[in-house]
Amino acid sequence: MLTGKKNHVVPVLAGLGAILWPGLAAAADGLNSGDTAWILVSTALVLFMTLPGLALFYAGLVRSGAVLSVLMHCFAICCVVSVLWLAVGYSLAFSDGGYANAFIGGLDKAFLAGVTTDSLSGTVPELLFFMFQMTFAIITPALIVGAYPERVKFSAVLFFSAVWLLVVYVPVTHWVWGGGWLAEMGVRDFAGGIVVHVTAGISALVFASMLGSRRGFPDHVRPPHNPGITVTGAAMLWIGWFGFNAGSALAADGNAAMAMLVTHISAATASLAWATVEWIKFGRPSVIGIVTGMVAGLATITPAAGFVGPVGGLIIGLVSGIVCQWMTAWIKHRIKIDDSLDVFAVHGVGGILGTLMVSFLALESFQGLGLAEGMGVGDHLWVQTVGVVSVAAWSAVASFVIIKIASAIFGLRVAEEDEIEGLDITAHGERSYDF
């Protein structure tokens, strides 16, 4: 993740500026009030993506008897991750791990030890950077919720999400953004194509395959019970994603503006591409299709948002809308894995595509911001491929082990009669709708 450029204040004017504009004194010491204000907003936007954006997006896609269970999964994951991120997650991801720093951070910032209101991360308070990164840690395991709705035990969800955060998300975050071995190689992941989407997508595929399919899959699964709720959640995701990507510039500057622009273009293009493919294949576009295309475009632009220009955003949106749409059918009907809400096909495949495509779309000929010094397209593609493959392998193996442990302790799947009745009433004693 890139660090925003610091504003440079002419020393001779600093004293006068501090009198006329108190905020300038802070800027002179490294704190930038504009950057801070933008990351405050971005932090709220990213949390808005999960609660309520992702929660509503998923809730509309399941049958009516499982709506509350999906909302509960997203909400509970938010709470669990927040506490774990404070306890050890942030420290392990972003502090110095000594001899093991290439693979994991240390515990010197556990429970934010030593971090005060005066501590800085670049040009923003470290407390704010902690919060911003916490929202990324929250949404990543929440994405996996789409792999197992309507049939999973709530206890297994809590256990898996908590352990997965510490075993998969935190180390990968350190590898890519915390100065670990992938960062040393030069991997480019602006806002989470590898850290968020590859980890969640691969893990979702493993979870879905180990859990088993919903009753009636693939030909007799009930359709989404409320597409209107899904569209509402999708709109919130689109807006919140500006904090996700443009906020990852960690500055209120032109780089953030470009990241916001290409994010929007990719989402819009992917939506149109997905809907067009449906129109050709089925004779009519669906509202679920167009909003799912939007999410594919957002996921795919995420690793590239700070490195590509408008043409790159357009290309990424077009490719993601077509490829991810094809992958949803391939996963369900060819290899018959019930990744219920297409987490791997949309987020996993999208994250992989965006991570690899940045290798050439960052070229100035595509209006990109340029490749890293001393590296060509082939060099970048190799490094990006190593990042994708290694993180995918780690996510798959670790998720398999965690799920096996969860299954042994709690069991994974609810009883068939509970699945038929719906998890809202059997797991939580409540109903979404009182008809």
| pLDDT tens string 294-341 | 999 999 999 999 999 999 999 999 999 999 999 999 999 999 999 999
Buried b (16+ CB within 10 A) or exposed e, 198-214: bbbbbbbbbbbbbbebb
pLDDT, one tens digit per residue, over 84-139 is 999 999 999 999 988 889 999 999 999 999 999 999 999 999 999 999 999 999 99
Q: What share of the chain is helix, strand, coil (3-state, %, to 5)?
A: 70, 0, 25
pLDDT recorded at residue 13 = 29
Residues 255 and 229: beta-carbon distance below 8 Å: no
Question: Which domains can be identified in the chain, with CATH numbers?
Answer: 35-428 (1.10.3430.10)
Computed from CA positions of residues 223, 227, 230, 235, in that sequence, does the dihedral angle turn out positive or negative?
Answer: positive
Evaluate if pTM is beyond 0.75: yes
Percent of the chain with pLDDT over 70: 93
CA distance 305 to 284: 31
Q: Is 151 in a helix, a strand, or coil?
A: coil
The tens digit of pLDDT for each residue in 359-415 reads 999 999 999 999 888 899 999 999 999 999 999 999 999 999 999 999 999 999 999
Distance CA 73, CA 311 (A): 38
The pLDDT of residue 22 is above 80: no
- Write out pLDDT tens, residues 27-81: 445 999 999 999 999 999 999 999 999 999 999 999 999 999 999 999 999 999 9
Residue recorded with tokens 């030069």: 186
* Distance, CA of 399 to CA of 207 (rounded, Å): 7
Which DSSP string corresponds to 212-227? -PPTTTTTSPPPPS-H
> What was the pLDDT predicted at 99?
84
Do residues 39 and 65 touch, judged by C-beta distance below 8 A? Answer: no
